[in-house]
Structure 1
């Protein structure tokens, strides 16, 4: 039975890359009965009808999967955030980071549009970049217009499956166009009235870049913690994971527990205050979430 990887899903068809050829496939009805949908990034077996068409008959086990964007078997997530237009937001970045950490996907923070910054704004963005690096995250500062940071970004994409994720209007498509100009992906100006970009990417597709595969995904502006439980959230903050070894209680949520090493670090200014603030906000959000039945 031939095998391949789904590189695009569109209008009920799945495009399977098998060697150098792409086969347009339908999914078998059995997947719908099992409530399993093939995802871009899936390794599949398919039954060939001819050289160009076939039917997916089996999906291999996934090492991870994301719901928004719908993609599986991701090696890393490039979290694209603009320095300005829209303004850089640590709250939104931390929200993305928690969701990526919960899937055990390696994040790379990519801050775009640095060519638009004043001297004072550049210092502020550099400070944020250094703070996230101190946690252990990789951070790139880039400009599609000036081509700053693009060579370094290319090196991260080599032989890996990467997903580009972030708000609409932050420059994901512009970055991919700068990396591979022949793609000519659609981009939109930011709407002044809304302060955010229009959705220009309509489907998930894996694109070859530097011997790797990159997903350009639909932009979105809000993310909910529908799959993360309160006792899982502390594991989505790497700096808290290290500190928690010194907490008095195993399973400490770093809220009101006595002899909590995380709270002690906050009081001693050894933990970024906005990170702990966001942690408390996310914890409250998870606890107030309506139960699922």
Structure 2
């Protein structure tokens, strides 16, 4: 009955081309699943097709899009208009994200700071605030490598808190840190990202009681997990939306220009105006404020090493094309 009433409200709002507002929470096989906003929110999700005019204009509705939509006679709907976007991720294709939770396990798989920095580069380039979540903190006391896990946690806290990133520690099995992370998500459209097998789905299952996202254990032979999420879908979490995103463990620098890389390292972005030369690459130029900060210890050596590694990788990509 409640669902029928919600549909009636949506239909009423769609009269005279005054379309209802909604949020695309899933896109699959040419259909867009739109969650109605306002009074009908949480009551109705409408399976929609997009108007052909979007294709003619080179536009594609994406998960996270806020839209105007109408109901058709068969109870389905039509996406009529895309509202302006505040951010856009290309892989995975999700828009209007305003918080990124980068999930890295302290063990199984071993925490990889190089991969963490690569994720941060992409998130900074997209202009999305990021927080770090160190998962599986129960494993260090359950047959895991306690010393290795402790070093990983210490390194992240030492390097990244100083840069202004928030760091949360969680254990899905013991429910530790879950409530704090859930409260941090409130009011946001957030994306969970991280290496395959770090426990993103387990974490979401712990945050949302009753949610049963498929999870897989780490392959001991390969040292990595299988992809368990097949498509992007927004999960409603009491005043927040979270996207569990497939394919976010494969990152390349195809979308970045070489000149963008330094900007994506927070500490380099802050120091670049003090470099002697405009457009300094922070590699060989005299009077480079970034290199001086590395030598003095104000910039962590591992962060600078990763910057150089990514710069080389980007130059190799440009040469190939």
Which range, TM-score by smaller chain? over 0.9
Matched, 1:107 2:125: no
Structure 2: runs of 5 or more not aligned = 1-18
Equivalent residue for 1:267? 295
Question: Given that residues 206 and 214 in structure 1 are in contact (C-alpha distance below 8 angstroms), is that contact kept between their aligned partners in structure 2?
Answer: yes
2:29 matched residue in structure 1: 11
Q: Where is the helix percentage greater, Structure 1 or Structure 2?
A: 2
| Partners of 1:201 and 1:66 in 2: CA distance | 17
Conservation of the 8 A alpha-carbon contact between 1:41 and 1:74? yes
- Residue 212 of structure 2 is matched in structure 1 by 184
Q: Distance in 2 between matches of 1:237 and 1:9?
A: 33
- Out of 54, 72, 77, the residue aligned to residue 31 of structure 1 is 54
- Indicate how the Cα distance of structure 1 residues 25 and 36 shifts in structure 2: closer, same or farther if over 3 A, else same: same
CA apart distance, 1:103 = 0.6
Checking the alignment, whether the CA contact within 8 Å between 1:28 and 1:56 is kept in structure 2 is: yes
Runs of 5+ in structure 1 lacking a partner?
none
For 1:28 and 1:164, locate their aligned partners in 2 and report how far apart those are by CA, in whole Å. Answer: 30
Does structure 1 residue 97 correspond to structure 2 residue 120?
yes
- Relative to structure 1, the CA distance from residue 50 to residue 18 in structure 2 (aligned partners, 3 Å threshold; closer, same or farther) is farther
> Which stretch of the first structure deviates more once superposed, 131-140 or 33-42?
33-42
Q: CA deviation at 1:192?
A: 2.1
Instruction: Name the TM-score, length of structure 1 as normaliser.
Output: 0.95
Alignment of 1:123-134 (within 5 A): 123-130=150-157, 131-134=159-162
Per mean C-alpha deviation after superposition, the further-off stretch among 218-227 and 88-97 is 218-227
Distance 1:122 1:89 in 2: 12
Deviates more, 1:103-112 or 1:208-217: 208-217
2:173 is paired with a residue whose SS is coil
Deviation at 1:194, TM superposition (A): 2.1
Alpha-carbon shift at residue 167 of structure 1 (Å)? 1.6
**In 1, distance between residues paired with 2:320 and 2:70?**
38
Structure 1 residue 191: deviation in Å? Answer: 1.7
Kept in 2: contact 1:45–1:59 (CA 8 A): yes
Q: SS at the partner of 1:154? A: helix
1:175 aligns with one of 203, 207, 213: 203
Pair 52,166 (structure 1): closer, same or farther in 2 beyond 3 Å: farther
Alpha-carbon RMSD across the aligned residues, in angstroms, is 1.7
Partner of 1:121: 148
